[in-house]
Structures are given as C-alpha cells and as structure tokens.
Amino acid sequence: MTEFLVAPNPSLPRLTRAVQGIDHTGAPVDLRIVEERPLTIFLNAQEIVTAMTIGDYPEELAIGYLLNQGMLRRDDTLTGVDYDDDLEVVVVRTARKTDYEEKLKKKTRTSGCAVGTVFGDMMETLEGLTLPPAELRTSWLYALAKKINTVPSLYLEAGAIHGSVLCRGDQPLVYMEDVGRHNAVDKIAGWMFRNDVDPGEHILYTTGRLTSEMVIKTASMGIPILASRSGFTAWGVEIAREVGLTLVGRMRGKRFTCLSGAERLVMDADLDTVEDEGPKHRRKGGLD
C-alpha cells in the first residue's frame, strides 16, 4: 500500500450500506453494497451537471469533470473549490469569467456505466493535440496488473464499482473508484491538476472497456498510454489511432492486445516468469 499516493479505502462507512437478503438457497445473507449519491457541480455561478457518485474526492471529481469537458482550462487559476456535504454541491471558482450556456445545450449520453454525459463536441478537445513520446515496457504492464488486481479495494468489499489508476513505470500511484469509470478518470484528472502532475510521464489503467469516451478523456488529459483488462470499441480504437494514443486491452495473464500506438512498446518481459490465466479465469473487478 505504501506505493500508492492515493489508494482505495473500502473501510470508509459512508461508501457502503449494510443490507439483508437471501441467497439462491433461500438462506439469509448480509451484504455491504455501494452507496450512490448525487453531486451537483457549479462553475462559478453556473450549474453544470449533477453526477451520481460514491461521494469520495468530490473536489477532484468536480475539477476533473470540468477539465475533461473543456470548461476549465489547464492554465486557469482557481480562486476556490468549495464542497458542501449537506447540500451535496461543489462550487469551482476561477479568476476567469465563464459562461457555457450554449455548450450546455448540446449533450451526448456516453456508453459509460451510470451513464456519462458529455457537453458540446466530444472531439473538440482533441483538435491540434499532440501526445508526447513515451515508452511502455511490457514488464511494466505485467507488474501493474498484478499490483492493481490484488490491492484492497471497494470492489472487493462490495462490488458494482469501477477503478482507474494513474501509473508511472511499473508503479501504480493514484487509484480512484466510482460507479462510473468516467467519474474515476475525472477524479484522477482533478488530482493531477491540483498537484501539477506532468501527464506525459504516466500511464492510465482502467478496469472498464476502452470506449471512445475513455480514449478522448485520456488523450485530452495528455496521457499517452491507456491500458485495460477489458476490451475495445471500434470508435475507441479509431480515435486512439487518430491521436496517437497507445491502447492496450484484454490484459490477462501473459496475454494482451495492442490496437494503437504499438511503436511505444518495448518487449522486455520474460514470459516464463509471468503467471498465466486459464480461459475461464475472471478477476474480481468492476468489469462490464
């Protein structure tokens, strides 16, 4: 756990709720299930969106959401980030005056679980984007998968959750969870903004599908590599190839598939030392 700067904390009582039910035999069972609560995000005086979230790291979620929507600029100066737990509201204040009334009129419902919403043109954040050169050693991929898949998490406690992890080399650094993978990524974006992190030196790992939304968010954050245990969508692959994002999916045991940016791969792993998985093996994770 000492490797992580931010790690899941499944013991937080506000993240789960105890419920009773019965199992397939009719026997009583006691479970802890994930809480879902609304969080309304304001940018200055303008209400932007209400997101469903597990409720941790609300400030990072709000900042990251606004960044990934193109409403907050990388060079913006924040004059305040105020969270009211009772009202379930975050207000992000900037020195720059903002008005996104026209942008808010155009919405796209994404394929993310818990249904993500993107405002305006989804592709506008990628115009003129050049991702930095980077190296991805296959030994890093195997090391990251092992560390991430075994760390204590809210999913292992209650399930019904997704995770996204900011990594550098073979070290996972920031592990965020939420009911939607888009929320988990936004929390990482917000954390990076608040800590002035250089995105070009990092890898983003997600437990969910490699969709267009995930590709767009990763690229707009300036991260050159996106990896997942899960699979791809066609549009996600197409966009990754257009922007030069390295896209690695279906990471199971010794196996993975790279459908974009393979020039960054360095095949340095000794596969004889990597534990394989049987065809029916499934990680206990928030996959969909």
Instruction: Please give the average per-residue pLDDT across 49-56, as a whole number.
Output: 94
Identical fold at 37-123 and 136-273?
A: no
- Above pLDDT 90, what percent of the chain? 72
Of the listed ranges 21-30, 78-87, 121-130, 165-174, the one predicted with least confidence: 121-130
Determine the Cα angle at 246 with ends 212 and 107, to 5°. Answer: 20
Task: Report the distance separating Cα 165 and Cα 199, nearest Å.
Answer: 13
Tens digits of per-residue pLDDT, 127-174? Answer: 888 999 999 999 999 999 999 988 888 877 777 789 999 999 999 999
CATH architecture of the region 37-123: Roll (3.10)
193 versus 288: the higher-pLDDT residue is: 193
Which is the CATH superfamily of the domain at 136-273? Cytidine Deaminase, domain 2 (3.40.140.10)
> Rounded mean pLDDT of 203-211?
93
Average pLDDT over residues 102-131: 64
Judge whether residue 203 has pLDDT over 70. yes
Query: Could you tell me the pLDDT band of residue 108, with boundaries at 50, 70 and 90?
Result: very low
**Residue with the larger pLDDT of the pair 223 and 13:** 223
Identity of residue 242: E
What residue ranges do the domains of the chain occupy?
A: 37-123, 136-273
User: Average pLDDT for residues 267-276, to the nearest whole number?
Assistant: 92
Rounded to 10 deg, the angle between the 234-243 and 212-220 helix axes is 20
Give residue 82's Cα distance to chain centre.
Answer: 23
CA dist 246 and 276 (Å) reads 23
Mean pLDDT of the chain: 88
